Amino acid sequence: MRPDLFELAQYAIDQKKLSVSMTPSATPKVTREAIRKAKEAGLSRWAFSLDGSCADINDHFRGTKGSYDLTMRGVDYLKELQIPIQVNTTVSKYNLHDLEATAEKVKEMGAVLCAYVPKAWENRA
Chain segment 8-42, per-residue pLDDT in tens:
999 999 999 999 999 998 889 999 999 999 999 99
**Assigned domain for 13 exists:** no
Predicted confidence band of residue 1 (pLDDT cuts 50, 70, 90): confident
**Assigned domain for 80 exists:** yes
Give strand pairing partners of 117: 90
Q: Torsion-angle region of residue 19: left (phi > 0), alpha (psi -120 to 50) or beta?
A: beta
Evaluated on CA atoms 91, 57, 102, 70, the torsion sign reads negative
CA distance 46 to 88: 11
User: How many domains are there within the chain?
Assistant: 1
**Assigned domain for 124 exists:** no
Name the pTM for this structure.
Answer: 0.88
pLDDT digits (tens, 9 = 90+) for 75-96: 999 999 999 999 999 999 999 9
CA distance 34 to 42: 13
Residue 43: domain span? 28-118
**Assigned domain for 1 exists:** no
Predicted confidence band of residue 119 (pLDDT cuts 50, 70, 90): confident
CATH code assigned at 90: 3.20.20.70
**Assigned domain for 21 exists:** no
Strand order in the sheet with 85-91: 21-22, 45-49, 85-91, 113-118
